[in-house]
Structures are given as C-alpha cells and as structure tokens.
Amino acid sequence: MKRCSAFSQLIYHFVWATKNREPLITAEVEARLWPYIGAKCKELGYVLLAVGGIEDHMHVLIELLPTMLVADVAKNLKGASSHYINKESGLPATLYWQDGYGVITLRKAEVPKVVRYIQRQKEHHRSGKLSDILEQVEE
C-alpha cells in the first residue's frame, strides 16, 4: 500500500468476541489464528504490534495509515479470520465473531504496556487483573 505524505502515529487497540462468547478459540485454533492475523495484517498494509486473547475474544494492536478506515480493519480481519479457520485451515473447528467490536486509540508511549497486556491475556483473565478500557467489546 502506498504511504501517504503526512506524518501519522495512529495506533489502535481492537477487541472482539466470539459469537455468544462461546469458547471457540481453542489452543489448536489459536495456533493457527494468531499467525494468520499477522499475515493478513501484512497483506493489507496494517502494522501488527500484538495479537492475543483467550477462548472467547481476541485483541489486536495495530498501527494504521490515515487513509485506512477503522471499520474496514475490523471487518477485514474478522471476516478473513473466520473464513480461514472455517474453510481453509483444515481444522475441524468453527469460528464465528459477534457483530460488534471495541476500539481505542493509544499514544506511542502506551504501546509497550498494552503489548504486554495482550501477550499475557490468559494470565490476566485467570487472576482477574483486567483493564476495564482494554476489555471493552460492543456486545
């Protein structure tokens, strides 16, 4: 994708849940899903900073160009990832996402902390030490 001639530092934290919060992201699905999200981001020109989650939702931290629409990013990643798991991965699994999603913007200085938060999703959910703002999903 052609870079625009404007300075930008647009960092977005997305979170979306599986349909009805079902535990569809098994270890087997996760092992395919996270790398797929990375490859899809690269293909679409998004800079992936972190991806992670637990059985019923996922987090994606990306940097975008000003010409990229936030709603398109969510639509593209959700649609492509469920299609991949359901039709192309060869797994005997299904993956369906809820209609909504949550998204917030971050300052560059917040990125390392949020990357750690995303990478430690299982630990945070086990311990109950969750960030209210980073876990917001439109149900």
Q: Write down the mean pLDDT value for the chain.
A: 89
pLDDT at 123: 79
Residue 3 counted as domain residue: no
Residue 133 counted as domain residue: no
pLDDT in tens, 27-49: 999 999 999 999 999 999 999 99
Residue 79 counted as domain residue: yes
Among 80, 77, 91, which Cα is nearest to 25's? 91
Instruction: Assign 114 to helix, strand or coil.
Output: helix
Residue 4 counted as domain residue: no
Residue 1 counted as domain residue: no
Q: How many domains are there within the chain?
A: 1
- Residue 80's domain is classified under what CATH number? 3.30.70.1290
Q: Give residue 96's domain range.
A: 11-127
Residue 134 counted as domain residue: no
User: How far apart (Å, rounded) are the C-alpha atoms in residues 44 and 51?
Assistant: 16
- What confidence tier does 7 reach under pLDDT thresholds 50, 70, 90? confident
